[in-house]
Amino acid sequence: MAPDGLRPTAPETLDAEPLDAASPGPAAPAPAAPAPAAPAPNVYDAEAIPQAAWAEVERLLRSGDLFRYTAPRDAPVSLLEADFAAEMGMDYALAVSSCSSALFLALKALDLPAGARVVIPAFTFAAVPSAVVHAGCVPVLAEVDRSLRLDIADFTDKLEGAAAVIISHMRGHTSDMDAILAACDARGLPVIEDAAHSLGTTWGGRKIGTLGRIGCFSFQSYKMVNAGEGGMLVTNDPEIAARAVIMSGAYEHNWKKHPGLQNSYLHWQNRLPLYNMRMQNLSAAIVRAQLPEIGRRVAAGRANHDHVAAQLNGSAWMRVPPALPQEERAPDSLQFILEGPWTDEGARRFQEEAKAREVSVQVFGLSQDNARAFWNWQFLGETPDLPKTRDMLMRACDVRLPARLSRAELDFIAAGLIAAAAAVMG
């Protein structure tokens, strides 16, 4: 469903390619940068898949047993669903081909009427409005401001006439879930959480992805758990679970390989279309072996983020939006705002100055065709005017910060960014 990814860099994280020759604005020549004291960190390589997965993958390769419904029981996909449900404290987990598939199935499982309006944040990955369109619904974009979180007043206004809500915790930034859930509960609106980038984040001690009616996660390579591709849908609602299982492709009596809900499956069998968005066993084996790694990755990612954020916040020209008090983040990247009298041209030069110092930084709204800039979502027809989100996207910067980086590498990135800002503004 998200057929991007032809580039060597992350489709839903940072595009590291240099500014395109076709970019608007004059290309300022990058001045000579000081020689780096240490080699620039590689922020693109993945971590090795844990050894625990290797034997299981080899077993699957030898047997050829890759389809989740072939084995009578205990297929890797079923075991992963049981583990994930237990890990999240949810009644039902359904493994699927991507988070985009999970979002699509979530909307279909809610049985919304054709053309139903679904409120989403205007700062998200293009796959989110795409899932809404795919489900036959109409996305309504709510403003996201320089806090990188939903503008609750605009969000509440847009609930008028809406049938459902998807909260995208973009880059793991959690909007005010207390206010959002209260506003949606008051109107009887179901909330789907797009927790693609929030595995390991908590809100008031509760796991993000378990607060709404349905939670959706991604195992695409640039997320907390890397299976190349993959997704998960969680819910405590048995009817939603049954409908999602059938539509994910549990044809004939394959639903018998999912625990519980026999009567619901019998009811929905053949009454719902089969969209075939299943996960296969190899992916499940690779995801399962990484579940024990999540705690370490979350702790390291948070420490790395806070270490660099503290240095950037010491600069007059950059500000890392703070977490909300209820929020404990699980970051694998860093976002900050260019603060002060920056111009678009200055922001462009900042990207070049950082690149000259071997640090890749992207201003969301300045890279061509950025999939997170709402004005590029031409498949929506006319995109709305969203001044707050536009203002944020023109000054919000994105840096990859994988959990495996060392302190020296983090300091290299922080120093490069600070010097780049000073070179433009100082």
Ligand X SMILES: *Cc1c(COP(=O)(O)O)cnc(C)c1O
Binding site for ligand X (CB under 6 A): 2, 12, 98-100, 124-125, 127-128, 168, 170, 194, 196-197, 218, 220, 231
Q: Supply the minimum distance, in Å, between the C-beta of residue 22 and ligand X.
A: 26
C-beta of 225 vs 354, nearer to ligand X: 225
Which is it for strands 231-235 and 362-363: parallel, antiparallel or unpaired? unpaired
Beta pairing, strands 362-363 & 396-400: antiparallel
- Is there a catalytic annotation at residue 223? yes
Which residue's entry shows tokens 């890759």? 66
Q: How far is the CB of 408 from ligand X (least distance, A)?
A: 28
Closest CB to ligand X among 5 and 238? 5
CA 56, 58, 64, 67 torsion-angle sign: positive
Name the nearest CA neighbour of 102 among 219, 1, 233, 198. Answer: 233
Amino acid at 47: E
- d(Cα 292, Cα 289) in Å, to the nearest integer? 7
Q: In the block, which residue shows the tokens 């399962």?
A: 288
Nearer to ligand X, 12 or 327 (CB): 12
In the bound complex, what is the minimum distance in angstroms from residue 127's beta carbon to ligand X?
4
| 249 φ/ψ angles, rounded to the nearest 5 degrees | 125, 25
Q: Cα 288 vs. chain centroid, distance in angstroms?
A: 19
Q: Quick check: 237 and 245 in contact, CB under 8 A?
A: no
Residue 381 burial (10 A CB sphere; 0-12, 13-18, 19+):
exposed
Q: Which amino acid makes up residue 263?
A: N
Minimum CB distance to ligand X smaller for 231 or for 331: 231
Q: Write down the catalytic residue from 108, 207, 223, 257.
A: 223
Question: Which C-beta is closer to ligand X: that of 165 or that of 424?
Answer: 165
Q: Which residues are catalytic?
A: 223
